[in-house]
A = this chain, B = another copy of it.
């Protein structure tokens, strides 16, 4: 069994209104040391695969076909072996 940790974030060129809103809220709460905030999505998937390579291939395909919007978002992931 493999665990994939997937991070989906906005592309750098895309405005992140949620991140801006959070930053403004933090400044109102007097967290003035916060200079930038970006919000993304985080997924953990468990995969029943025979090899790490297979798990990485499937995870990449899942990100492309469902989890990330290729027009606006970019993704990266880490795959590790875990017990059942």
Residues of A within 8 A of B (CB): 1, 7-9, 19, 22, 25-26, 29, 31, 33-49, 58, 61-62, 65-67
Q: How far is the CA of A76 from the CA of B58 in the complex (A)?
A: 26
Q: How far is the CA of A9 from the CA of B48 in the complex (A)?
A: 22
**Residues on B with beta carbons closer than 8 Å to the beta carbon of A36:** 44-46
Q: How many copies does the complex hold?
A: 2
Interface contact B41-A58, CB-CB below 8 Å: no
**Residues on B with beta carbons closer than 8 Å to the beta carbon of A9:** 42, 44
Interface contact B66-A48, CB-CB below 8 Å: no
Interface contact A47-B33, CB-CB below 8 Å: yes
Interface contact B22-A48, CB-CB below 8 Å: no
